[in-house]
Amino acid sequence: MKIQNRLPLLIGGIFFFSLIYCTAQKPDSNKKLIWSDEFNGKGLPDASKWNYDVGGGGYGNQEAQYYTKDRLENARMENGNLLIEARKENWEKNKYTSARLLTKGKFSFQYGTIEVRAKLPKGRGTWPAIWMMSEDMKKWPDDGELDIMEHVGFNPGYIHASIHTKKYNHIQGTQKTDTLVVSDASDQFHVYKADWTPEKIDVYIDDKKFFTYENKEKTYEAWPFDQPYFIILNLAVGGFWGGEEGIDDSIFPQKYYIDYVRVYQNK
């Protein structure tokens, strides 16, 4: 999500998928839970687990929000969920506020399974994401990016998963991506999951796999995913992609609900 200027479905196919109800999944007995946040507290997110990106200026995507820190209006634990809330309000020369939480400097991992159970915001101009980047990021996209979930509000229900590397990225029109349509993504919780091994990355929604990227070329330009990565949760407003069809100010505030984040490795 670091820099996006792409139309959905440039590469890959579309899968259609819908569930009326989606319950929380049971932990996998074959895997060891190595890190999690269940968001069972109240107030600000756990500072021992999460840092914030702070500021405006578009974040390379011409995003319209200002990301705040330690502000309950934009990020808080409530009723067993993390809520990231985008609000229509003037803040530091920006017209919207929101939050971007990340585990950089607090937790990263190399290979394993990450599961995030979430319910997405809705409306034109929203752009929530679950993604990962290298703990030792020096240059984008050379050091890699894994987008487990992106959803742009003007195209409701279309969930995108992608990777970006030096060789495969949207700037060159070579990015690897696929899409799954989940019609109730903004009304029900779903589990967004990535399985990451030295051989490949698979992305799922509720155990339905819809994206695979394989380590076929064995080069850093194609596969920088052999180093620790950290987790990012954010709700952008507008931007090259999220704001492609404008921002509907009547929808705010919008809430992005995260029930849990869990990371496993094989026993």
Torsion sign over Cα 243, 212, 190, 14: positive
* 8-state DSSP, 116: E
For the chain, the first-to-last Cα distance in angstroms comes to 31
Longest CA span, the chain: 50
Contact of 116 with 260, CB cutoff 8 Å: yes
Catalytic entry in 63, 85, 115, 150: 150
Q: Which amino acid is at 58?
A: G
- 145 is a catalytic site residue: yes
- 245 is a catalytic site residue: no
Catalytic entry in 145, 214, 221, 244: 145
Which of left, alpha, beta for 160 (phi over 0: left; psi -120 to 50: alpha)? beta
Give the pairing type, strands 112-119 and 254-266: antiparallel
* Look-up of token digits 């094989």: 266
Contact of 53 with 102, CB cutoff 8 Å: yes
Measured between alpha carbons, how far is 239 from 246 in angstroms, rounded to an integer?
Answer: 9
Catalytic residues: 145, 150
